[in-house]
């Protein structure tokens, strides 16, 4: 077991061997199931006890007020919050009239486990009721990765010690009661308390359907269920429905050893435009198709989908079994968040919880999409098509702000800006370049020219237009972008943020190049040679500040002249700083919430010399407090590049274990998708040294002492490349395709199918380990991994 959290260490799954009532909300996030369209928190089948009930449909939200003590021009007028939609997970059990409630009676055993190769949450429990009757309950739950609208529950109850009367109630419940929250705006809480307005309900036989619409955002959604029931002779089935609830009740008497099995198929659908009959019929049709597949068919499809995924996208680690578990946990949840999102956003918490109100941020394009580009590229195309669908709103926002082109929102569900704090929201213009870079990466990695022509070109053009109007050439001819907020939210409304300027430079160049490839479509967008020349001029003249005296790049103009934060005088309980100090104090000090300049060195490594990277990294290490889960993975990548392999190992583990160890204390609100994806980036781009800035993909592999082998595969155009790294050598194997050009330590190699190529793995000189702020050092991984590895081996031998 992990010392911190009590999950068994298993390279292919997560197991909870006992019920942890105080930690229910956290485990509900960890065991959550999703396919990018439907999200089910891992609430117990019977619904209670619970930490935080949650059933989500991607894109279904409610409007809520954004309170402003003082209004201002351009402030968003309303926010958007993901809502808990109709709960179809519920399967209640009564044993001789006693409800199966784990808070009462005697719980003799309880285990839940999730196998990443199966994609099914399984549960076993043995319980004796207060009246003395014992039953065994087994359940399995899945959200289909192949049938987008479908989830299913396989539920079985067995009598143990005598005849027992069993009633199983399978339900759909809308507007279910949520735990009271003392946080946030009470007006918003009131809006979200009962967001669904009933429109239709129906139940007959083993089927039931509920249709609702959201009160203010006016989205229509339907939830339906059907059942297959197996049990002894004489099983009775009744059905009933009302506005917010539908129930199918199954009653029988079980003799010792007899079982009642109920397979529940749940369907969900929603629309902003379609009629009630259309949405209802879509759900009922999906359920009919899933019933045709049956539980066994759904399970077979799920396994086949994941078998193909792991065969082409696994990241293998030797030397740290817990890190191996954590990175597969990360990959599994990133896939769940995106597999069937289909032109919807990928929220920062996926569909695992209501954290961040269910909003999507720059996290998606900067951390999640780079991973998906090389393992699930179709999901990247879907996510970027969602951004494309919001272009009209982004153009409106730009016009409102007096800018050309498109200004994309800092946080949103549907495409409108939902941040009520403009220094961290509207001023974070880099989101436009983040999207543009994601477009360029996708097209370069897949060769999907048709996507670039139909969608990518317009995204690149409109973001380039925004940068050209936001920035200006100064008297010396340099192109400056002023009054913006970069990734580090402890420095706001700054001039010439290095990350922003370099990303804008990439955006401008990519737009000009794309126009050259698609002249006819560019003409239709009104792009002429004068405009593209202006983009290239701005990119060539982009101002990148540099502090000659210190020999480092300031994060933005003047940053290195600010007073350094008093880290020595800041007690550990005052972190995260934003909850204990005013922003005005943070903004005028040298203190970094999350990697900013360091991220610039990762995504635009060509703009820095190796010496600059080493000096910059050391300088910003002593200022970065990692009050954001987005920081550790970036620090891991650059630590590896500058030779600090043990430090990179520490940061990689922090990113990977963010939720399994609840390092931020908020896993209960949902998983950190960017940190999970970032753990994969830390391994592939950090220890694998992968860089994809140019036409040929490059690698500079190196391993920390704590790992003995790292292997991963990548989809690149029509090729499947496998990279295997040990301390002695790195081997490149082309598993699919013809031949591919890769760079190893700047040496160009052609790799062909059937002819692996190996080169020596270089271990760079480490130098002195950089210093972090007092009390903000990452946990040393090597000792922890050794202890956990020994414990896991002992358990394995004991089991044998």
Nearest CA to 332 out of 119, 633, 649 is that of 119
Residue 53 resides in a domain: yes
- Is 367 a domain residue? no
CA pair distance 287, 519, nearest whole angstrom: 47
C-alpha–C-alpha distance, residues 656 and 7, integer Å: 15
Collapsing DSSP to helix, strand or coil, 76 comes out as: coil
pLDDT digits (tens, 9 = 90+) for 31-52: 999 999 999 999 999 999 999 9
Give Dmax over CA atoms of the chain in angstroms: 91
Question: Is 243 within the bounds of a domain?
Answer: yes
Name the strand (E) or helix (H) holding 742. strand 739-744
Q: What is the DSSP letter of 624?
A: B
Query: Could you read off the pLDDT of 510-538 as tens digits, one per residue?
Result: 999 999 999 999 999 999 999 999 999 99
SS3 content of the chain, % helix, strand, coil (to 5): 35, 25, 40
Which neighbouring-strand residues pair with 32?
A: none
* 362 marked as binding residue: yes
Q: What's phi and psi for 607, nearest 5 deg?
A: -90, 0
Judge whether 135 lies within some domain.
yes
Domain harbouring 179, CATH code: 2.70.98.40
- Answer whether 0.85 is exceeded by the pTM: yes
How many whole angstroms separate alpha carbon 140 and alpha carbon 289?
20
How many domains does the chain fold into? 1
237 within some domain: yes
Helix/strand/coil (H/E/C) assignment for every residue in 271-298: ECCCCHHHHHHHHHHHHHHHHHHHHHHH
The answer to whether residue 489 is catalytic is yes
- The pLDDT of residue 639 is 98
- pLDDT value of residue 178: 82
Position 527 scores a pLDDT of: 98
CA distance 512 to 520: 14
Average pLDDT, the chain: 94
> What's the distance, CA 405 to chain centroid?
28
The answer to whether 363 is annotated as binding is: yes
In this structure, is residue 217 part of a structural domain?
A: yes
pLDDT at 695: 78
- Residue 392 has what pLDDT? 98
Read off the pLDDT band of 183 (50, 70, 90): low
pLDDT at 68 over 80: no
* E strand or H helix at 16: strand 13-16
Query: Does residue 565 sit within a domain?
Result: no
DSSP state of 539: H
pLDDT band at 784 (very low <50, low <70, confident <90, very high): confident
Selected catalytic residue, list 176, 489, 641, 724: 489
Domain extent for 81: 38-311
Q: 594 a known binding residue?
A: yes
> What is the arithmetic mean of pLDDT over 602-627?
97
β partners of residue 229: 262
Mean pLDDT of 122-144: 97
How many H helices and E strands in the chain?
21, 31
Q: In the chain, pLDDT over 90 holds for what percent of residues?
A: 90
pLDDT of res. 421: 87
- Give the integer Cα–Cα distance in Å for 649 and 790: 19
Report yes or no: 329 and 15 within 8 Å, Cβ to Cβ: no
In a domain, 100, yes or no: yes
Within 10 angstroms of residue 48's Cβ, the number of other Cβ atoms is 14
């Amino acid at each position: 077991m992990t010392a911190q959290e009590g999950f068994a260490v298993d390279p292919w799954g997560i197991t909870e061997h006992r019920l942890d009532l105080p930690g229910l909300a956290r485990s509900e996030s960890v065991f959550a199931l999703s396919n990018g369209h439907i999200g089910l928190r891992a609430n117990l089948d019977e619904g209670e006890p619970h930490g935080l009930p949650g059933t989500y449909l991607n894109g279904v939200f409610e409007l809520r007020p954004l309170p402003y003590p003082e209004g201002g021009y351009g402030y968003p007028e309303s926010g958007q919050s993901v809502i808990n939609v109709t709960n179809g997970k519920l399967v209640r059990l009564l044993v001789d009239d006693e409800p199966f409630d784990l808070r009462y009676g005697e719980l003799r055993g309880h285990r839940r486990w999730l196998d990443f190769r199966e994609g099914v949450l399984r549960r076993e429990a043995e319980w004796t009721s207060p009246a003395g009757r014992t039953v065994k309950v087994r359940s399995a739950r899945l959200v289909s990765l192949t049938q987008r609208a479908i989830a299913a529950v396989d539920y079985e109850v067995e009598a143990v010690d005598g005849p027992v009367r069993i009633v199983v109630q399978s339900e759909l419940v809308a507007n279910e009661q949520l735990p009271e929250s003392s946080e946030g705006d009470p007006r918003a809480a009131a809006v979200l308390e009962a967001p669904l307005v009933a429109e239709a309900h129906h139940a007959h036989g083993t089927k039931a359907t509920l249709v609702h619409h959201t009160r203010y955002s006016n989205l229509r959604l339907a939830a339906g269920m059907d059942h297959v029931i197996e049990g002894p002779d004489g099983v009775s089935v009744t059905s009933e429905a009302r506005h917010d609830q539908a129930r199918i009740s199954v009653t029988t008497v079980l003799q010792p050893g007899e079982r009642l099995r109920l397979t529940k198929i749940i369907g969900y659908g929603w629309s902003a435009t379609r009629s009630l009959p259309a949405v209802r019929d879509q759900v009922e049709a999906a359920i009919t198709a899933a019933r045709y597949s049956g539980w066994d068919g759904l399970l077979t499809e799920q396994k086949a989908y994941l078998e193909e995924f792991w065969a082409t996208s696994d990241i293998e680690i030797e030397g740290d079994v817990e890190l191996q578990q954590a990175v597969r946990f990360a990959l599994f949840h990133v896939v769940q968040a995106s597999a069937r999102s289909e032109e919807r956003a990928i929220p920062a918490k996926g569909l695992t919880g209501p954290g961040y109100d269910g909003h999507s941020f720059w996290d998606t394009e900067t951390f999640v999409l780079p991973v998906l580009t090389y393992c699930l590229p179709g999901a990247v195309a879907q996510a970027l098509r969602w951004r494309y669908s919001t272009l009209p709103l982004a153009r409106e926002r730009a016009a409102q702000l007096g800018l050309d082109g498109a200004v994309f929102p800092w946080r949103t569900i549907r495409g409108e800006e939902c941040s009520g704090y403009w220094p961290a929201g509207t001023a974070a213009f880099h989101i436009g370049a983040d999207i543009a870079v994601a477009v360029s990466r996708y097209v370069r990695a897949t060769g999907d020219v048709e996507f670039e022509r139909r969608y990518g070109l317009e995204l690149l053009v409109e973001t380039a237009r925004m940068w050209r109007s936001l920035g200006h050439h100064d008297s010396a001819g340099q192109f400056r972008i002023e009054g913006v907020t970069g990734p580090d939210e402890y420095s706001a409304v700054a001039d010439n943020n290095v990350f922003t300027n370099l990303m804008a430079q990439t955006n401008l160049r990519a737009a000009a190049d794309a126009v050259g490839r698609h002249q006819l479509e560019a003409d239709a967008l009104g792009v002429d040679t004068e405009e593209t020349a202006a983009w290239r001029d701005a990119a060539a003249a982009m101002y990148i500040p540099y502090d000659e005296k210190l020999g480092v790049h300031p994060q933005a103009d003047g940053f290195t002249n600010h007073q350094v934060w008093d880290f020595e005088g800041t007690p550990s309980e005052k972190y995260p700083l934003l909850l204990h100090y005013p922003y005005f104090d943070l903004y005028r000090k040298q203190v970094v919430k999350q990697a900013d300049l360091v991220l610039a060195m990762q995504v635009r490594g060509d703009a820095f010399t190796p010496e600059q990277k080493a000096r910059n990294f050391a300088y910003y290490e002593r200022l970065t407090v990692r009050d954001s889960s987005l920081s550790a993975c970036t620090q891991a990548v650059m630590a590896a590049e500058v030779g600090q392999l043990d430090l990179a190992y520490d940061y990689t583990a922090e990113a990977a274990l963010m939720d399994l160890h609840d390092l931020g204390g908020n896993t209960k609100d949902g998983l950190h998708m960017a940190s999970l994806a970032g753990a994969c980036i830390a391994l592939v781009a950090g220890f694998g040294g992968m860089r994809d800035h140019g036409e040929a993909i490059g690698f500079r592999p190196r391993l920390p002492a704590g790992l003995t082998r790292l292997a991963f595969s990548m989809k690149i155009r029509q090729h499947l490349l496998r990279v295997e790294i040990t301390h002695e050598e790195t081997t490149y194997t082309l598993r699919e395709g013809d031949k591919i050009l890769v760079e190893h330590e700047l040496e160009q190699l052609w790799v062909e199918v059937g002819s692996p190529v190996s080169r020596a793995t270089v271990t760079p000189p480490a130098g002195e380990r950089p210093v972090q702020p007092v009390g903000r050092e990452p946990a040393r991984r090597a000792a922890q991994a050794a202890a956990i590895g020994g414990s896991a081996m002992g358990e394995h031998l004991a089991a044998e």
